[in-house]
Amino acid sequence: MDQIKIGAFIAECRKKRGWTQNQLAEQLGLTGKAVSKWETGRSMPDLSLFSSLCSLLEISVNELMAGAYISEEELRSKTDEVLMEVITNWLGQEERERKASGDKSERILKVSNVSKIYETENRKTLAVDDVSFEVQQGSFVGIMGKSGSGKTTLLNLIATIDKPTDGKVDIGGQIITDLSECKRAQFRREHLGFIFQEYNLLDTLTIYENIALALTVKDTLRENRNQIISELAERLAITSVVDRYPYEVSGGQRQRCACARAVAAKPDIILADEPTGALDSHAARQLLDIFVMLCREYGTTILMVTHDVLSASYCDRILFMQDGRIEAALSRGQMSRPDFLTKILEKIVWMEEGGNVF
Ligand code: ADP
Ligand code: MG
């Protein structure tokens, strides 16, 4: 984001409307000094002002962030770029401070000897079998494995949606497996974000209300809530569908809405179960890029179940599950994404051949 360019663009648009800095400031309830600071690139308008500033200057938020008028043809590619900027800008201060004060290599998740047995009438299924692992804050961890290997069960145990038969789950120093049902629900709302392949959204609420849900939980002021949702909706190209119900929009739009909701809540951990499963490759890559950016820039931790090798190659580390156990792990280290993808494929083949037995 080029603050000086944005400042110059604000000045250009303001002059076009024939206003002084003070006249523009007045309409926004600010002093002329604030506008002067933007225009010289010394500061950026607060996100809560974006909408009113843009409508006064008759420009789009995309154009404001790009610091230039954007033609219709360029809009699509610019939108992706600007999405990153806005999330970065908006998550900005608070998260940056948190990151600065926190130890970067802090452990956020510790799973200790966790097992889950499902008992039905005449059958017991050991869905997760004595699993232990740790996850550092800000890392992007993938869980892979064949269908039925226990990935979703493991994720649900961490998500506090399900309770383990045995073992402990510690998230940020809280042993969540010890919490009461009521406390677990509160913990889930305050610290976790969810993205699933399907059933992400409540069908009885509109897209707008679905995103708002995350912010209601965080006690975000009503005016800020509207602001945040319209910004995110515009960035994620779902503005035209915010008043529709989930079953009235496409799968890609539903998933972008789910992403907006997960990001809006600024959770400590995002738990994603096959999030790209129903998306086309463009939408999938866009989502994965957002995930990587959230980890790198803001220390968000992401745990993603996937059976897609391409999606997995975006991760820092992969845990491979088989019959409820973690049978292997791979770290990306300094590897390029294509090299990591090859390594993941090799590991899958090795496991299929029974390599884990030896
Ligand atoms: P994955 O996500 O890797 O496909 P799951 O975690 O969904 O695997 O399932 C692991 C095993 O547990 C499977 O054998 C599945 O049939 C069983 N299972 C999952 N959920 C339940 C349930 N609610 N009741 C009984 N068995 C279940
Ligand atoms: Mg599953």
Task: Lowest mean pLDDT of 82-86, 167-171, 231-235, 309-313, name the range.
Answer: 82-86
Q: Does the CB atom of residue 145 touch ligand 1 within 6 A?
A: yes
Instruction: Give me ligand 1 centre to Cα 302, in Å.
Output: 22
At residue 292, the pLDDT reads 86
The residue whose CA is least distant from atom 24 of ligand 1 is 118
What DSSP string runs through 249-312? S-HHHHHHHHHHHHHHT--SEEEEESTTTTS-HHHHHHHHHHHHHHHHHH--EEEEE---HHHH
Mean pLDDT of the chain: 84
> Does 93 score more than 50 pLDDT?
no
Q: Are the CB atoms for 195 and 267 separated by under 8 Å? A: no
* Chain center to CA of 61: 21
Distance CA 100, CA 106 (A): 12
Ligand nearest to the CA of 145: 1
Task: Locate the ligand 1 atom nearest the alpha carbon of residue 145 and give its number.
Answer: 3
Where helices occur in 107-250 by DSSP H, the ranges are: 151-158, 181-191, 207-217, 222-235
The residue whose CA is least distant from atom 25 of ligand 1 is 118
Task: Lowest mean pLDDT of 108-122, 189-203, 247-261, 310-324, name the range.
Answer: 189-203
At residue 84, the pLDDT reads 54
What integer is the mean pLDDT of 150-178? Answer: 93
* Confidence (pTM): 0.69
Q: Does the CB atom of residue 149 touch ligand 1 within 6 A?
A: yes
β-pairing verdict for 166-171 and 107-120: antiparallel
Instruction: Give me ligand 2 centre to Cα 278, in Å.
Output: 14
Q: Does the CB atom of residue 127 touch ligand 1 within 6 A?
A: yes
Owner of token pair 């299929």: 352
Distance CA 192, CA 185 (A): 10
What integer is the mean pLDDT of 92-97? Answer: 50
Q: How far apart are the first and last CA of the chain?
A: 52
129-130-135 Cα angle (round to 5): 115
CA dihedral angle for residue 55, residue 61, residue 63, residue 64, rounded to 10 degrees? 80
> Does 316 score more than 90 pLDDT?
yes
Strand pairing partners for 171?
109, 174
- Measuring CA to CA, how many Å separate 104 from each of 90, 133, 175, 265, 333? 21, 18, 21, 21, 16
β-pairing verdict for 192-196 and 174-175: unpaired
The residue whose CA is least distant from atom 21 of ligand 1 is 118
At residue 1, the pLDDT reads 66
The answer for 145, left when phi > 0, alpha when psi is -120 to 50, beta otherwise, is left
Ligand nearest to the CA of 131: 1
What integer is the mean pLDDT of 273-287? Answer: 83
Instruction: Give me ligand 1 centre to Cα 321, in Å.
Output: 13
Q: Does the CB atom of residue 125 touch ligand 1 within 6 A?
A: yes
H or E element at residue 107: strand 107-120
At residue 105, the pLDDT reads 65
Q: Which of 117, 118, 155 to mutate to test the pocket of ligand 1 (most atoms within 8 A of CB)?
A: 118
> Does 106 score more than 90 pLDDT?
no
At residue 357, the pLDDT reads 46
Residues with CB under 5 A from ligand 2 (ion): 152
Percent of the chain with pLDDT over 90: 45
DSSP character at residue 70: -
Percent of the chain with pLDDT over 70: 85
- Measuring CA to CA, how many Å separate 146 from each of 137, 156, 274, 320, 324? 27, 17, 13, 9, 10
At residue 96, the pLDDT reads 46
